[in-house]
A and B are shown apart, each in its own frame.
Chain A
Amino acid sequence: MSKRLEVKIGKLTLKNPVMTASGTAGYGAELSEFFDLSRLGAIVLKGISLKPWPGNPPPRIIETPSGMINAIGLQNVGLKAFIDEKLPFIKKFDVPVIANVLGTTVGEYAKLASRLDEAGVDGIELNVSCPNVKKGGIAFGLDLKAFYKLIRKVRGCVKQAILIVKLSPGAPDICEFSRAAEDEGADAISLINTIPAMEIDISCRKPSIKNVIGGLSGPAIMPIALRMVFQASRAVKIPVIGMGGIRAGEDAVKFLLAGATAVAVGTAIFVNPRAPINVIEGIEDYLKRFNVEKVSDLIGGLQL
C-alpha cells in the first residue's frame, strides 16, 4: 500500500491519519459490520474505567443545530471484561488499538494504564476531559497541578504503548496544558473533547437530557476545535490529534493544516458508520487534486 497517507504518533506508524474518536466506535464490533476496521489509521475505543459503570439515566442525548449533546456518563464494561472479552476481537484486525481510560483518582488511572499496557494495546488515551462524570475525569483536565501529577504517575506505568492525553476545551489555557502533557512525557495530545452544553424542552420546561448538562459535539463545534488545535500545536512539538465535527476529507485537511498530525472522526460515525472511510478517501482526493505528495506535507501547513 502507498505510504502517501502515513503519519507517526510517537513510535507508532499509522497507515493514514484517521482514527475514531473515543465513545463513537464502541469496542469495534458494531462498526466492523460496515467496513474493514483495518483500513483505519487507528481505532480509539470507548472509555473504560476500573470497574463497570452503569452510565447516566436516560434520556442521554438530544440533537441541536448541526450537533448533539450527550451525557452517556461513561457506561462501560470495566477493565477486566474489556481485556477478557473485548480486546481479543479488535486485536484480530490490522489496526493500532488505542484504549481510552478514565479514573476517579491518580491511582485508578495508573492501574488502568499499566494493566492495558501489559495487555498489549498500542496506545492509551487519558481522558481528563469527560464532562459527564461526577468524580475525577475533567477535574484533572482543569487543574494544572493535578494534571502534572497525573501524567507523571501514568507515564511511569506505560512501557510499550504510546501515551496520549485528551484535553478539555474548558482548560483555562490550552497551551499551558498542552505543554504540561509534553513536559511529563506524553507522546501526543488529543483535542477537543465535547463542550459542556445544555438544551431545554419548552413543552415541559425541563432539560432535554436527564443529566441537565452534557457535551456538545458535531459540526457545530468544528471552528472551536480548529482554533484550539491550531493554538495547541504551536505550543508543543509532540503530535496533536485533532477532532471536533469532522465528517469529510476537507474537514480533516483543515485540522492537518492547523497543525494536527492525525484526526479523529466522532459524531459523524453516528450519522454514517462509514464516515472514517469517507474521510480517508476525501484526504486522498485532496492530495491528488492539489498535487500534494504526502499527507505529512500538510501538517501545520497553514499560510499565515
Chain B
Amino acid sequence: MSSPSLFKAKVIKNARLNVEHFILSVRPEGIMPAAQPGQFFMLGIPGRLDPLLKRPFGYFRVKEDALEFLYRLRGKATAIMSVLDAGDEVEIIGPLGEPYPLPKPKKVPLLVAGGTGIASLYPLADAFGGEALILYGGRNSDELLLTEELRGICRVLGLATEDGSVGVKGTVIDLLKEFLAGKNKNRHVVYACGPRGMLKAVSELGLEGYVSVEERMACGIGVCLGCAVKTSTGHKRACKEGPVFRIGEVVFE
C-alpha cells in the first residue's frame, strides 16, 4: 500500500448535487495519490484557525485528473468547504487507513450504504466491475445520490427512503432484511458504510463482512488516539487499524 503524503491541491470545481450534498473536485500538486476503496483523506484549508483541524473524507473517486470528495453539509467545516471555488487551495493528507479487503472467491459482494456512506462504497462497487449488489438507504430522495451512475457499476441497486419518496419505504436495514429473507447468507460478503446505528444493525444480522466506521479525528495519521473505537480486543484507531473493521470486531454500544 502506498504510504500517505501531505500535499496541496487546487479546487477545480465544487458541484452542488442538491441542498445538502456536494462533490468537491481538486487537482493535487504533484502525482495523484493511489488510494484504495475504504481508505480516506484528511482535508483542510491551510492556515485556518477555526476550524483548525482537518476533516476525514472517504476516498470517493478520481475523475478527469481530479480527486473527488462527496460530502454533506454538517457543520462549520463543511459549510466553509461548500463555498470553496475553482482556484482555491486545500491541504490534504492521504491516503490513510486500511482499505476494504476483497471477498473470497465465489462470494458475492453486497454493499450496504446509508446516506453519504455511499462515498466510500462507490469506488468499491466500481472495483468489482459490475458484480456487486448495492443496497442504499437515506431519509429522503435527496439523500440518495448518484443513483443513475451507481446503476451502471453494479448488478442490482436496491433503494430505500424513510419517507418512501424513492424505493422501498423504510431504512436500508429493512431492505437488507427483506433481501436476505429465504436466501443463504453465506453467499455474500457485506460491506457497510453509514451511520453508527446502521452499522450496529448490520453487525447484528450474523453476516460475514466489513463495516467502515466514522469517528471524530484530530490527526488521521495515528498519533492522537482521538478516534479510538471499542473493539473485542480493546481500543483501536479508526484512522490506522480502521476505518474498515471485520463485522463483529467493533463493539457498538
Chain A residues near B (Cβ < 8 Å): 23-26, 30-31, 33-34, 46, 54-55, 57-63, 65-68, 70, 72, 75, 218-219, 267, 269-274
Alpha-carbon gap, A301 to B201, bound state (A)? 61
Q: Is the CB of A54 within 8 A of B234?
A: yes
Q: Is the CB of A270 within 8 A of B91?
A: no
Q: Which of A33, A61, A219, A269 contacts B226 (CB 8 A)?
A: A61
Q: Closest residue to B44 on the A side, CB-wise?
A: A271
CB-defined contacts of A270 to chain B, threshold 8 Å: 53, 218-219, 223-224
Q: Which of A33, A62, A65, A272 contacts B91 (CB 8 A)?
A: A272
Alpha-carbon gap, A57 to B226, bound state (A)? 10
CB-defined contacts of A75 to chain B, threshold 8 Å: 225, 228, 235
Shortest Cβ gap from A112 to chain B (Å): 19
Q: Is the CB of B226 within 8 A of A70?
A: yes
Shortest Cβ gap from B212 to chain A (Å): 16
CB-defined contacts of B53 to chain A, threshold 8 Å: 63, 68, 270-271
Alpha-carbon gap, A10 to B225, bound state (A)? 31
Q: Is the CB of B226 within 8 A of A60?
A: yes
- A–B complex contacts, Cβ < 8 Å, 13 sampled: A30-B223, A33-B221, A57-B228, A58-B235, A59-B215, A60-B228, A61-B216, A61-B217, A63-B52, A70-B226, A218-B52, A269-B223, A273-B6
Interface size grouping (class) on chain B: 20 to 34
CB-defined contacts of A272 to chain B, threshold 8 Å: 6, 46, 91
Within 8 A of A (CB), among B63-109: 91, 93
Contact with A along B197-220 (1 / 0, CB 8 A): 000000000000000000111110
**B29 interface residue (CB < 8 Å to A):** no
Q: Is the CB of A31 within 8 A of B228?
A: no
CB-defined contacts of A33 to chain B, threshold 8 Å: 3-4, 221
Q: Is the CB of B49 within 8 A of A219?
A: yes
**6 tightest Cβ-Cβ pairs between the two chains A and B:** A61-B226, A270-B219, A270-B218, A26-B223, A30-B222, A66-B49
Alpha-carbon gap, A30 to B172, bound state (A)? 37
